[in-house]
Chain A
């Protein structure tokens, strides 16, 4: 149901993690894990390499070896992209869950990924020489169009159930994904069909990264400023209004932040679903229901998950890339089903 606060998970309420020290420790731990995964991601791969070569390449960069160049030109942008888009998808999910009160909000499930992908496909066809920034703007517009469609069609007259929104999201996704796939086949856009449904991290370049990262950072910062208000919003709209929150402003800012985060990420790595669903819920289990803690924890967890998934995607079938979104979905679907299955205290 909309606008109902999440049930507090009391059984975790007074554990060590909920103290300030525990939280700081958790965040630090996650940062360390993320760094380790990122190093692992850059230093291993099909072409070989190890940590020593990486350090040599980074600090004695006069004449990088061949593997060193692979690391610098291919693996580093890839690892960074995984980091930042993972964080962005997770943040988008968390903020969307906070703003709409819909516990199943996720950029993939609500059709945002498909909308952004569709607009990217159209832009690539109509303006082949458009700078990356333009592509990202069109991804943002596409995400906005999809949100409008899903909410416009999914909101019934009397009750606006979460399930209806998910159904509308799946139909809008099916339509827009089909359109993007059709366009990419017809006009020979050099992306394979699964890019639109399952994402792909191959072939990410520094030029893309240089624009993606600032956009995500900016949107994430605004999101963090919003976090306190999201916690108050979780008490219910009336209470929030009574406490002096400008609900419309929070909704609007939140949605724009979500659209930027998801749009930019989709235009870089393609549609990755379920990340924005499972990460915030896991974060909520770890740090409680305060959005000021959930948002940073979600961002870090999302980054860790996507970097790890990317490493797995590159190593499972060594010379081939497994679509990373498929891996995330394979983890995400059971969580999705479990979240909707719980008999008592079910979230919808």
Chain B
């Protein structure tokens, strides 16, 4: 199969695999539901047979996993192009931790805003993610240039700092929120209600098209700073815009899920192998693959050791950290 056909066929293929995974995932869990009943309750959501478990617990969680995986993968893909660093990922760069920390602050200090938490939670996450990004930007700039390895080093520091602040803050709360934070750090998809999806979707609907309009700029940025300047791209400005979009994507996903790392690293790399470096193919494919990955990780975590749930972030780390090491070994 040559590259061109592969580029055309792959999105459809991944989509159908994702659909199959969703069908499989719907039936993974404590309660087994026959497939006829699933169809029945999906077609007539208001009928009394419609399963509460299915519609109120499993479906939202599955959709959330797919959406978060998509957002994180897109964010990672953009970050890799903007920072010219193939190891970039919102988790490794500390953006996830920053966003999580600020969501934590929000939950602790502004309980009165909880009623409208749908609106405010992603905003807070965004502020935290941007703070982490700004810190990192300042740290890794040496002599006016961003040094890729310092970016990662700083990211490790920033992420450790925010995580520890989160743990310190959480001890103030009662034991259940403490467990919540510990699970956040382990990367749990805790949202199992439609509210979170409603909160997330507007952001994705704005940010993903915004990103897709800039595929050409992403392609040009890959050629290096000088070439991009010569081709008429305002590198600094575009970088800043793309960085903000990437942070916003990661942060809005993080505000409804746990701190899940490595999705944004692995999905773009796998897709690059499949469809090559052109962003017009790379972005959609890595988005789909990211969604599929996170869904599979969440499903596995949910069903491997029933009734215990392993957070999706743990599953992802187990599979993806070795891949990161492999990339690290190859890279330099």
Whether both chains belong to one complex is answered with yes
Check B149–A273 contact: CB distance below 8 A: no
Which of B21-29, B157-165, B217-225, B247-255 has 4 or more CB atoms under 8 Å from chain A? B157-165
Cβ of B270 under 8 Å from chain A: no
With contacts A186-B308, A316-B171, A327-B168 taken as known, whether A163 is within 8 angstroms of B152 at the C-beta atoms is yes
With contacts A326-B164, A337-B139 taken as known, whether A164 is within 8 angstroms of B314 at the C-beta atoms is no
A156→B178 CA distance, assembly (Å) = 40
The chain A residue sitting closest to B147, CB to CB, is: A163
Cβ of A336 under 8 Å from chain B: yes
- Number of interface residues, chain A, beta carbon within 8 A: 51
Check B164–A320 contact: CB distance below 8 A: no
Check B142–A343 contact: CB distance below 8 A: yes
User: What mask results when residues 172 to 201 of chain A are scored 1 for a CB within 8 Å of chain B, else 0?
Assistant: 101101110110011010001110011000
The chain A residue sitting closest to B265, CB to CB, is: A171
Cβ of B44 under 8 Å from chain A: no
Cβ of B324 under 8 Å from chain A: yes
Residues of B within 8 A of A197 (CB): 163, 185
Cβ of A7 under 8 Å from chain B: no
Residues A307-348 near B (CB distance < 8 A): 316-317, 320-323, 325-330, 332-334, 336-337, 340-341, 343
Cβ of B120 under 8 Å from chain A: no
Check A164–B167 contact: CB distance below 8 A: no
Residues of B within 8 A of A334 (CB): 161
User: What mask results when residues 259 to 300 of chain B are scored 1 for a CB within 8 Å of chain A, else 0?
Assistant: 001100000000000000000000000000000000000000
Cβ of B321 under 8 Å from chain A: yes
CB distance from A273 to the nearest CB of B (A): 7
Check A192–B179 contact: CB distance below 8 A: yes
Between-chain CB contacts (< 8 Å), 26 pairs: A154-B328, A156-B329, A161-B149, A163-B150, A163-B152, A164-B332, A167-B87, A167-B156, A168-B325, A172-B325, A178-B186, A178-B313, A186-B310, A193-B185, A194-B181, A198-B163, A198-B167, A274-B160, A322-B167, A322-B168, A323-B167, A326-B165, A333-B161, A336-B160, A340-B154, A340-B157
A residues apposed to B, CB below 8 Å: 109, 153-154, 156, 159, 161, 163-164, 166-168, 170-172, 174-175, 177-179, 181-182, 185-186, 188, 192-194, 197-198, 273-274, 316-317, 320-323, 325-330, 332-334, 336-337, 340-341, 343
B residues apposed to A, CB below 8 Å: 87, 92, 139, 142, 149-150, 152-154, 156-158, 160-161, 163-168, 171-172, 175, 178-179, 181-183, 185-186, 261-262, 305, 308-311, 313-315, 317-318, 321-322, 324-325, 328-329, 332
